[in-house]
Amino acid sequence: MRVVMDNSVVVDALKPDPQFEADAQEILRLASVKVIDGFVSANSLTDIFYILRKEHGADKAKLMIRKLLLVLDNIGIDPADCVAALEKPMSDFEDALVDVCARKVNADYIVSRDERFIKAETETEVVAPRQLLVKLQ
């Protein structure tokens, strides 16, 4: 199963929030042991780094991103991807770009905690972390 991680899930795993961390960490663990093929878009990495840097400082944030890239494959973005995202009927450009990236890697799911993204009209099904874990059982 190929799964693209949205920012919210990665941040929940790396900057734990007791309410969300268990499912997010389990999804990353499953990617690390190759139960799923995990992906993250290049633009998500900048947002994740920004959040981690505020919490942990730049050096530790860089180390965390390096470790993340050992677990998740990076999806590159080119100008055509940006244009495709702009053409989607979605008001959130970042979510549209993640959907384009998911299609590029033939992902089965995008996993996100963002309710608006989960309900949006996307080419790849967007599921909450708990939903993904249920599907994997």
108-117 pLDDT, tens digit each? 999 999 999 9
49-69 pLDDT, tens digit each: 999 999 899 999 999 999 999
Sign for the CA dihedral angle at 55, 59, 63, 68 comes to positive
2-135: CATH superfamily:
5'-nuclease (3.40.50.1010)
On the question of pLDDT at 133 being above 80, the answer is: yes
Contact 4, 41 (CB under 8 A): yes
Which of 30, 12, 29, 11 has its CA nearest to residue 21? 12
pTM metric for this prediction: 0.93
pLDDT at 26 over 80: yes
Q: What is the pLDDT of residue 63?
A: 96
C-alpha–C-alpha distance, residues 58 and 69, integer Å: 16
The band of 18, judged by pLDDT with boundaries at 50, 70 and 90, is confident
Q: For residue 129, give the nearest of 33, 23, 49 by alpha carbon.
A: 23
The rounded Cα 32 to chain-centroid distance in angstroms is 14
Domain boundaries, the chain: 2-135
Helix (H, G, I), strand (E, B) or coil at 100: helix
The whole-number average pLDDT for the span 85-101 is 95
